[in-house]
Amino acid sequence: MLSDDLLELQRLDSAIDQLTYRRSNLAERAAADAASAALARTTQQISELIARQVALNEAIEQAEHLGSELTTQRERLQAQLRTVSSPREAEALTHELDTLAARRDELDDAELANLEEQAQVVDDLTTAHRAEIELSEGAERSTADLAAAEAAIDQQLADLTVQRSDAVAGVEGGPLADYEERRARHGGVAVAVLEGRRCGGCHLDLSAFELDAVKATPAGEYTDCPQCGRMLIP
């Protein structure tokens, strides 16, 4: 009967809708997304640490080069100081030596800070690389779990799709077009069964007059729910 075919089609479509929603909201998908995000953050952290390591290496090399230049300048000034006899020249050279010494102290302090940070960056990189390996393995497991869960649902969807094709054969033509139009209008549920005096779709009570009209529907046929407009089967 047409009413039975419609109910079966609705059952199958509702099952397909539920599985489709479930596939989009799998716990395995959330876990895979979280694992992928954690791995991406760690990969980004490694990239930033490597960039900082390069910058520190360059800063340390530059400090060593500047330090060598300051040493050369100091040695030259000290040599000059040993040869001058004028107090004014000696005072000027001494002032230059003091200035160089202050610059060298600042340079040494900066280089020491960079060396300490460099050591910390190396430690952080070691930790991050270990975490990256673990997170990568976890992401692979999560991806595999998601793929398995999706495959299981896809198989169910494939089976239901075959069953739906068979069910459609019983309602082809006008009833099928009517069903599809109402299904789109009512959030996927086009067909409802009369439950006592209530529509099983909108769950609203029918008046006595409406109830009599629905019950007068020929066996195997459907009518319209006067409340929501779904295909109502008595």
Q: What is the pTM of this model?
A: 0.73
Q: 74 with 93: CB under 8 angstroms?
A: no
Amino acid sitting at position 69: E
Asked if the model's pLDDT at residue 90 lies above 90, the reply is: no
pLDDT tens-place string over residues 146-163: 999 999 999 999 999 999
For the record, the structure tokens of 125 come out as: 């990189």
**Cα 41 to chain centroid, rounded:** 11
Percent of the chain with pLDDT over 90: 79
Q: Which residue has the tokens 């069903």?
A: 179
Domains of the chain, with CATH numbers? 26-149 (1.10.287.1490), 174-233 (no CATH)
- The answer to whether residue 86 scores a pLDDT higher than 90 is no
pLDDT tens digits, one per residue of 35-82: 999 999 999 999 999 999 999 999 999 999 999 998 999 989 888 888
Q: What is the CA radius of gyration of the chain?
A: 40
pLDDT band at 172 (very low <50, low <70, confident <90, very high): confident
Q: What is the pLDDT of residue 51?
A: 97
**pLDDT at residue 176 greater than cutoff 90:** yes
Q: What is the mean pLDDT of residues 217-226?
A: 92
pLDDT for position 97 = 86
Mean pLDDT of the chain: 93
| Encoded tokens for 16 | 């397909």
pLDDT in tens, 1-16: 889 999 999 999 999 9
Above 90 in pLDDT, residue 87? no
* pLDDT value for 61: 94
Question: What mean pLDDT comes out for the span 202-224?
Answer: 92
Is residue 211 within 8 Å of residue 38, measured between CB atoms? no
- Give the Cα separation of 19 and 25 in Å (integer): 10
- In this prediction, residues 6-32 reach a mean pLDDT of 96
